[in-house]
Chains A and B, each alone.
Chain A
Amino acid sequence: MRFTSLTTSHIKSDQKAHDFCDKQYIIPLEQPLVLTDLFTVNVLIPWLAAMAFGVFVGATPGLTATMAVALIVPISFHLQDPNAGLAMIIGVSFTAIFAGDIPATYLRIPGTPASAAATLDGHELAKQGKGGFALMLDLFCSCLGGLIGVGLLVLVAGPLAGFALLFSDFEYFWLGVLGLSMSAFVTQGSTGRGLIAAMLGVLIGTVGMDVVTGTPRYPVLEVIGSVELMRGFDFIPIMIGLFGIAEVLRNIKTEVSWSASSVEASPTPVRETLLAIWKHKITLFVSAICGTFIGALPGAGADVAAWGSYGLAKKASRDPDRFGHGAVEGVIAPTSANNAAVAGAWIPALVFGVPGDAVTAIVLGAMLMYDITPGPELFKGDMKQVHGIFWIAFLTQLMLLPVGFVGVKVFGSLMRLPRRYVLTAVVVFSVVGAYALNNSLFDVYVMLAFGLVGYVLESNRIPLAPLVLGLILGELVERKLRTGLISSGGDFTPMFTRPICIGLIMVLVMMFASGPLMRMLRRSRASG
């Protein structure tokens, strides 16, 4: 059963391996993978096509990166070259996460959940007529964040995965609490209103099945007889409603001119972008590292990574008040982190053969079909397959630049259509997007209802970002606390005594105490 190199895998004695290699459409990677293998027409064309497809899917709310990958996998099996298949899959996953930022910036509708943070500063910049600049920032930072993520994947996959394994329920609980506390930092204005939004988010997330026992949480809903409500709300229809439909409603109420274009013709300045990135290189770097690590945790994904680094960047900023009003760091941080997280999710997948999220779960299934068995053995010997995957992931980041640029341009010119068309199209695509997820009209009504909720909340100056964070993290926090307690036999002490827990608690305390402490220091220095 040894699996030191691919050639030996051929002569594995067991019948399963034999059958694997007999099939004509399962082609083991026989030769060591060199770069020239990737630069062939048979690989490059499906690769680029898949990435272009990824832009479409990512930019369409309701179509997720998971769906795109699930769709690409069966197609990739028809290709003769397994590299082409892997390149398509990896290409789609990274591009879709980037492309989610495009509608988030222009229309305030996140294309994927990982892009929800781009509705803050990215959209503000677009409103100031700098949408092109924001998206160029997104593009370059996605590429750089992805590169850092892949770099970490190459360099420290083993140790990092080992560290992630140490996380058990209580550690995830504190991580979730840390993330929820971020909502206090991502909000502008009153902290109280931010808290209300966060709690509302968690409360909305509790509708449906209980996360631990899987039984209906509110039996009242059973009496009403709504199977759909018993299932609970899906995140994506809520997100489309809160941001997209609410924005349409606001436009409808205040708009006077329907023939004007929705976005100013905004240039996509490369030089200015690069300068801005250079100025905030530390933000980018820290966000990407933080994103990779969060992505490597099996319980958290690109969405958590984006919010986490946004909060971190705001906390670290000298002038946090600019956040939410078009701060450049507010664009850079989440977009670098979410692409890095996609790379991070590969770490547990490759090291343990256990997927970190839904996308890598599908990819793992595909890799098994290519006769690549993920796991520690993959990192022994000459690591041919690993190198292949690394090169593909690496080059995907570079290819993201041209593909993404075209995507930004095409989307930008669509945005210059008169507003009456754009708003109507947004409604139609929101409806289809909400419907497509579960093929259920119920989700469409949920989306409409949350459109109204989002509109009402924002009119009362209750921010939506903490609500989204609550929706994402509420489940994690509750589930991990309760499973942790079941696991420990009802004992709370490990929650405070496990070493990583102590570390996380200290970070939490520091986060809350740093503000007042700094103020005290400054005051004492001023008086003394």
Chain B
Amino acid sequence: MLWIVTGMAASWLGVDAAFGQESAAASNYPEHTVTVVCPWSPGGGTDRVSRFWAGALEKEFGQPFVVVNRTGGAGAVGHFASAHAKPNGLTIGMITFELSTMHRMRISRLTYEDYECLLQVNADPAAIIVRNDAPWQTLGELLDDVRARPGELRMSGTATGGAWDLARAGLLQAAGMPIDSVVWVPHPGAAPSLLELMGGHLDAVCCSVPEVASQLENEQVRVLAVMANERMENYPDLPTAKEQGIDWIAVGWRGLALPKGTPPDIVKLLSDRCEKIAASNDYREFMQKNGFGITIRTTTDFTEFLREQHAQWKSVVEAAGYDKGLTSNNDPGPHALPWALVIGLIAVGGWEFARGTHPVAEPAKEQGSLLRLLLVCIALVGYIVAVTWLGFAVSTFGFVAMTTWKLGARPWAALLAAGVILAIVWLLFVVAFQVQLPQGVLGLPF
């Protein structure tokens, strides 16, 4: 009983503290660890950029900024997480190109309007890439060939409806050609597409130039056109599509944003610091090493740019028919396999059931208590629920101490075990891997 009362008191204090934090002004921002949500997986380009920004902001504010990868759903999951976080400045979202198109393709309802845009940090134009031994020397030659035999040449670079698919769709549209005159083969990303290109299974790839930097350097591939307004600073030899008579620009971009409704003073503070970092030498060096292009747009410009993007991609998505769905005619579709499996399961399951179990030697019925099993299951669920409310540290300590004690350990041994396990988790996950374990309403460190 005492425990319940103390627990309730503690949680009330926690709630109070949380409200107290929200009303605090930007003067003591950030009170504790800030999360930077990256919608793409560790090791990729966006992840690297996110980690740079987290590190730079950490130096700037003297509080930990931790990158959290929330992947999946073509970026929808991560964007959703940062847009719907508490608007208190303690969650910053890394937003990418897909934000401009995901609502058009009904992957998500999110748009740039769900964010307070902080700063655009990067832009890389799309490019058309072919094998070094390919017959086409210019974009015009490739497009003429496509006109001559529509629906025969195959391209890839990302999934159907991804940034680079839309870029090439827009290019074809700008050239006055039907979008399906090239077959877009969906592949998970630029790297696998390049392998298919080199194996001769694709005719051209559309992706950003940094993604093919090493193949370009090794003269395995050529760039026919870059879809930028002017030639790239790092690659002055590569011609633009505009030079070749097709007025079409497509850039993949990345930026930082806060959830809508973040207090303006915090937005101001963060955007000032971000601008400072963006102007630094460190940032230039980092981006150049990675081959990423730098394009900086500050809050209002960035919002304006996103509004333009929002409009630009509407017509492309609609012309490609992606607003109605992403399946191609030759694709058995997303439901073919699950249905086949359900039918298979019913068939085999029925056969097994009909055959009965008696011919096989029945193993000795497992001894034991079902009641204990049930109790443990309840305890496990209770533990996870407790993690949500009390935070990881408190509930794990409680869980380990309680369980080992119930299983016959002496009280001091149970407490010691809880302490040791907690210490190992803290060292390995929190310190080494910077995992943000649930803090619960108490706002304990982890």
Contacts and interface: CB of A to CB of B under 8 A. Distances in A.
A associates with B: yes
B20 interface: no
Interface size band for A: 35 or more
Nearest to B417: A421
Nearest to B216: A1
Nearest to B219: A1
25 contacts: A3-B218, A16-B288, A60-B428, A70-B47, A71-B432, A168-B196, A199-B341, A202-B341, A209-B72, A212-B186, A214-B326, A215-B326, A227-B77, A230-B76, A254-B368, A299-B192, A352-B215, A354-B192, A368-B214, A375-B218, A377-B217, A424-B403, A438-B71, A439-B435, A487-B185
Interface stretch (B140-148, B301-309, B372-380): B372-380
B437 to A, nearest CB: 7
Given A16-B288, A420-B403, 14 more contacts: A19-B285, A212-B327, A214-B107, A215-B105, A252-B376, A258-B407, A355-B191, A418-B409, A423-B407, A425-B417, A427-B403, A432-B429, A448-B380, A489-B151
A213 interface: yes
B397 to A, nearest CB: 10
A375 to B, nearest CB: 3
B214 A375 contact: yes
A264 interface: no
Contacts of B72: 208-209, 231-232, 438
A329 interface: no
B338 interface: yes
A67 interface: yes
A142 B187 CA distance: 32
A51 to B, nearest CB: 15
Contacts of B396: 428, 431
Given A253-B372, A254-B368, A258-B408, A485 B332 contact: yes
Interface string A393-435: 0000000000000000000000000101101110111011001
A374 B214 contact: yes
A490 B330 contact: yes
Contact of B408 (A16, A169, A259, A373): A259
Interface string A288-299: 000000000011
B264 interface: no
Interface stretch (B112-120, B271-279, B347-355): B347-355
Interface stretch (A102-110, A111-119, A145-153, A188-196): A188-196
Contacts, number: 294
A27 to B, nearest CB: 13
B14 interface: no
B80 interface: yes
A376 to B, nearest CB: 6
Contact of B348 (A1, A199, A448): A199
Contacts of B425: 428-429, 432
Contacts of A53: 432
Contacts of B351: 192
Interface string B354-393: 0101001001001111101100110011011001100010
A203 B217 contact: no
Contacts of A67: 42, 433
B186 A213 contact: yes
A19 B74 CA distance: 35
Interface of A: 1, 3, 15-16, 19-20, 23, 26, 53, 56, 60, 63, 66-67, 69-71, 74, 165-169, 189-190, 192-193, 195-196, 199-200, 202-203, 206, 208-210, 212-217, 227-228, 230-232, 245, 249-250, 252-255, 258-259, 298-299, 348, 352-355, 358, 361-362, 364-365, 368-369, 373-377, 418, 420-421, 423-425, 427-429, 431-432, 435-436, 438-441, 444-445, 448, 452, 459, 461, 474, 478, 481-483, 485-490
A298 B196 CA distance: 10
Interface string B332-349: 101101100110110011
Contacts of B70: 438-440
A173 B69 CA distance: 30
B269 interface: no
B404 A421 contact: yes
The secondary-structure label for the interface of chain A is helix
Interface of B: 41-44, 47-48, 51, 68-74, 76-77, 80, 105-107, 151, 154, 159-162, 183, 185-187, 191-192, 194-196, 198-201, 213-215, 217-220, 234, 285, 288-291, 325-332, 334-335, 337-338, 341-342, 344-345, 348-349, 351-352, 355, 357, 360, 363, 366-370, 372-373, 376-377, 380-381, 383-384, 387-388, 392, 396, 399-400, 403-404, 407-409, 417, 421, 425, 428-429, 432-433, 435-438
A439 B403 contact: no
Nearest to B432: A71
B383 to A, nearest CB: 7
Contacts of B69: 438-439
A420 B107 contact: no
Contact of A19 (B213, B288, B332, B380): B288
A23 B285 contact: yes
A300 to B, nearest CB: 12
Contacts of B338: 203, 206, 217
Contacts of A206: 337-338, 341
A196 B409 contact: no
B129 to A, nearest CB: 13
A165 B195 contact: yes
Contact of B334 (A215, A259, A431, A461): A215
A74 to B, nearest CB: 7
A474 B355 CA distance: 27
Nearest to A19: B288
B121 to A, nearest CB: 18
A208 B74 CA distance: 11
Given A169-B201, A424-B421, A66 B348 contact: no
